[in-house]
Amino acid sequence: MALFIPQTTTTTVSLFLLLATTLFSLLHAAGDKGHGSLVLGLTHVRTVSPPRVAAVTTDMIEPLRGFRDGYLISLNLGTPPQVIPVYMDTGSDLTWVPCGNISFECMDCDDYRHHKLIAAFSPSYSSSSLRDLCTSPLCADVHSSDNPYDPCAVAGCSISTLVSGGCPRPCPSFSYTYGAGGLVVGSLTRDTLRVHTQSSAATREVASFCFGCVGSTFREPIGIAGFGKGALSLPSQLGFLRKGFSHCFLAFKYVDNPNFTSPLVVGSLAISSKEYFLFTPMLKSPTYPNYYYIGLEGISIGNDTMAIAPSNLRSFDPEGNGGMLIDSGTTYTHLPEPFYSLLLSKMESTIVYTRSNEYERRTGFDLCYETPCSDGSCSDSLPSITFHFLNSVKLSLPKDNCFYAMSAPRGSMVVKCFLFQIMDDGGYGPAGVFGSFQQQNMEVVYDLEKERIGFQPMDCASSAARYGLHQK
């Protein structure tokens, strides 16, 4: 079997090993919280002109399905097409896939090794696969270089070809880091991407789609489709950056169930006829312009008065830090101190059930309670939680989006934990994150044309049929 092994320079490999070793040591020194949270991508934010590709003129509709701690979209890459499932991530730009069925290596990914889902892309099996050139704007972007000559200089181009912009060398191997400590190393590749249009049976080809062909990672076992606003992102390359997209995340009870999907819609259809949605404005970070921020005014628990959020959850400091990132690649909502502790204190004063110290130690979540469960019914009086976003948007979360049963019922009770976490950001980046677990069973619209984000409660499993994504 012919295998593709990404070309890497000695410098890149050494950097990868050094960074991976350092990250590994730091993570173990700090202790593994282990909830599967993915706080992704606050690097590589330089804005460049979108690449010239064959833009899709019709809307794109793809099925999403829940898997472990995120939501998967399947990419149809190459000629003939190879189907590669990747996480959909609004908190990063780069789209990358594992490359090489045997040569792909992921450090610290032991809990994924026995999943049959993991698929790798083989460029040698595709007649349309090409390495991207160092003269490509996307090559400069993935290397985060303000000097377009840099990638070609690394590739060994002469000064004359640098000045003329005519160096034919491939784009050098890159490393790309994520906010939670993940790291990938690979090479930029171009190939044909096939996407589904409004008719689920119809597909459209996008020639010369640019993505990372990754051979080595640290804590990133599955590829990622970046949906940020940068030039490398999937909606940017497909020409949808001035329109928008929407997603509807399945309830967590359908996780790892291949028979249920929900819609990811990209294009005009995603933002049309949404007058009944609750819209809050997108905030513009001067430092991180490629990501999606909203402003949080406060959170109310049950019928209690709203707890006022700190100002940094709705505005930025001069360095661009602050705001609330909305991110499909982060599993749980993260809130900063002391606002997080205030929320926990209000929660404790409201809930009448017995705390489960055992499950708090076992899971790392801060509030776990023994709730009643008998005769197959696990109803409880846990409080509702409402987010108050800018523009007077009140978003009441379903209880299942906040509390989750951590095991099967034992006797007449089941333990449920509050699935929020503290934001430990070191004072830079976003002040908080609105995670995917709290976005279950609601359609979320990214209206890039009007620079706003909308919410509407919805049964995401049922909404699939509306777009022709029938369940199996």
Q: Catalytic residue at 191?
A: no
* Residue of 101, 108, 40 whose CA lies nearest to 71: 40
Contact 385, 402 (CB under 8 A): yes
For the chain, give the secondary structure using H, E and C. Answer: CCCCCCCCCHHHHHHHHHHHHHHHHHHHHHCCCCCCCCCCCCCCCCCCCCCCCCCCCCCEEEEEEEECCEEEEEEEECCCCEEEEEEEECCCCCCEEEECCCCCEEECCHHHCCCCCCCCECHHHCCCCEECECCCHHHHHHCCCCCCCHHHHHCCCCHHHHHHCCCCCECCCEEEECCCCCEEEEEEEEEEEEEECCCCCCEEEEEEEEEEEEEEEECCCCEEEECCCCCCCHHHHCCCCCCEEEEEECCHHHCCCCCCCEEEEECHHHHCCCCCCEEEECECCCCCCCCCEECEEEEEECCCCCEECCHHHCCECCCCCECEEECCCCCCEEECCCHHHHHHHHHHHHCCCEECHHHHHHHCCCCEEEEECECCECCCCCCCEEEEECCCEEEEECHHHCEEECCCCECCEEEEEECEEECCCCCCCCCEEECCHHHECEEEEEECCCCEEEEEECCHHHHHHHCCCCCC
The DSSP bridge pattern shows strands 354-355 and 244-248 to be unpaired
Options 108, 327, 380, 447, the catalytic residue: 327
Options 89, 108, 191, 447, the catalytic residue: 89
Contact 93, 211 (CB under 8 A): no
Q: Catalytic residue at 459?
A: no
Q: Report the residue count for the chain.
A: 472
Beta bridge partners of 131: 189
Kindly report the backbone phi and psi dihedral angles of residue 118, in degrees, each rounded to the nearest multiple of 5, phi listed first.
-60, 120
Would you name the residues annotated as active-site residues?
89, 327
